[in-house]
């Protein structure tokens, strides 16, 4: 309830005699529209009025909305939450009714899987409603799981270069764009091998984005790339973040692929780096929580050299290698 002073209450009656003002206040009290704030004291006049009052909010009639929820919505929509929160339903009603219309008239469309944004527009005429607006909350209030809408999330398309579609083949995932373009140029010049390994396809990983892209791998690539017998390698910066991306990628998708580090490229980086003093400093705030799985693919001498570089707060960017090294 909102508190209001006697002066504010009588604002529209200032030109009237006190007796009329008193009758106005008494009528509002009888109607239950205000309640006195007794602690405020009286105004000292006769008959006396309290100096402040509570404005009583009128109770809204939600009976029509209650009937709508109980008898008019599609049975797939659970009404339990909204029956207990009728004021919320009043605000959400247009979106719930849009869902209701879709389920009544177009439910057969759910048999065909669609992207989140496509289904969102199909139901609410707003493509971002389900992913970025109120859609998830509306579904939850209606007791509907997102999976019941037969939708899928879309990742950013993978950028890749297919040098050959013959299988089985070696696919190489690259953390950074410069190395992707240099290796692509190397293959376009008719050289099928990179650091003595035959490479059929280059994939631009774009740092951590590769983790999301691999979740939707089958949507992002050509069928030959998912063929059984292909080998997948990873090559990125020799720093905690680059190693962490590889380890996360290898661990997350180990049940489907064995993703290996492109060992010869990392060894070439170490050889070319020379003294650690000549290397750039590790970027600040890098997550140094790596499992060590990356190092199991290297010799003791190579591991020692990598730990020395990392231990001195240095790193090797994969751009240390260029087209002349491949």
Please report, for the chain, the start and end positions of each structural domain, with discontinuous segments joined by +: 2-55, 63-152, 159-325
**Terminus-to-terminus CA distance in the chain, angstroms?**
76
Separation of alpha carbons 254 and 127, rounded Å: 34
Q: Is the pLDDT of residue 235 over 90?
A: yes
Q: List pLDDT tens digits, range 26-46.
A: 998 998 888 999 999 999 999
Residues 224/167, Cβ–Cβ less than 8 Å: yes
Angstrom distance (rounded) from CA 323 to CA 185: 8
Q: Report the pLDDT value the prediction gives residue 152, as an integer from 0 to 100.
A: 85
Residue 163: pLDDT over 90: yes
In this structure, the strands spanning 193-194 and 170-174 are unpaired
Sole residue written with tokens 């009528």: 27
Give the pair of three-digit tokens for residue 215.
Answer: 């979740």
Cα–Cα distances in Å, from 191 out to 147, 185, 188, 238, 323?
46, 9, 7, 26, 11
Q: Which helix (H) or strand (E) holds 203?
A: strand 201-204
The encoded tokens of residue 255 equal 């049940």
128, 174, 180, 311, 326 from 219: Cα distances, Å = 20, 19, 21, 40, 31
Distance between CA atoms of residues 23 and 28, nearest Å: 9
pLDDT digits (tens, 9 = 90+) for 123-143: 999 999 999 899 999 999 999
What are phi and psi for residue 165, nearest 5 degrees?
-105, 10
Query: What residues pair up with 202 in beta bridges, in sequence order?
Result: 161, 172
| Residues with Cβ within 8 Å of residue 243, at least 6 apart in sequence | 236, 290, 294
Q: What are phi and psi of 221, to 5 degrees?
A: -125, 175
Q: Which residue has better confidence, 289 or 99?
A: 99
Cα separation, 69 vs 56, in Å, equals 28
Has residue 254 got a pLDDT over 60?
A: yes
At residue 97, does pLDDT exceed 80?
yes
Average pLDDT over the chain, rounded to whole? 90
What's the pLDDT band for 276 if we cut at 50, 70, 90? low
């Amino acid at each position: 309830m909102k508190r209001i002073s006697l002066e504010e209450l009588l604002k529209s009656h200032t030109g009237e005699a006190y007796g009329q003002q008193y009758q106005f206040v008494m009528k509002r009290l009888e109607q239950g529209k205000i309640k006195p704030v007794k602690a405020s004291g009286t105004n000292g006049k006769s008959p006396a009025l309290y100096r402040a009052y509570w404005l009583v909010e009128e109770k809204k009639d939600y009976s029509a909305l209650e009937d709508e929820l109980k008898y008019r919505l599609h049975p797939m929509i659970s009404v339990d939450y909204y029956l207990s929160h009728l004021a919320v339903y009043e605000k959400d009603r247009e979106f719930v009714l849009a869902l209701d219309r879709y389920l009544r008239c177009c439910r057969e469309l759910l048999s065909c899987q669609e992207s989140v944004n496509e289904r969102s527009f199909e139901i609410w005429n707003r493509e971002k409603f389900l992913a970025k607006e109120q859609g998830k909350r509306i579904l939850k209030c209606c007791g509907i799981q997102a999976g019941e809408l037969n939708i899928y999330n879309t990742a950013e398309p993978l950028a890749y270069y297919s040098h050959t579609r013959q299988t089985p083949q070696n696919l190489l995932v690259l953390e950074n764009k410069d190395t992707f373009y240099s290796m692509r140029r190397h293959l376009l010049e008719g050289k099928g091998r990179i650091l003595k390994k035959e490479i059929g396809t280059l994939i631009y990983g774009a740092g951590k984005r590769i983790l999301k892209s691999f979740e939707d791998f089958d949507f992002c690539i050509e069928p030959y790339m998912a063929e059984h017998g292909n080998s997948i390698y990873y090559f990125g910066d020799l720093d905690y973040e680059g190693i962490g991306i590889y380890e996360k990628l290898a661990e997350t998708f180990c049940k489907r692929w064995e993703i290996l580090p492109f060992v010869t490229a990392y060894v070439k980086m170490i050889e070319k780096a020379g003294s650690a003093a000549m290397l750039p400093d590790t970027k600040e705030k890098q997550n140094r929580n790596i499992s060590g799985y990356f190092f199991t693919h290297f010799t003791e001498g190579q591991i020692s050299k990598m730990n020395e570089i990392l231990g001195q707060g240095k790193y090797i960017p994969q751009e240390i290698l260029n087209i002349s090294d491949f």
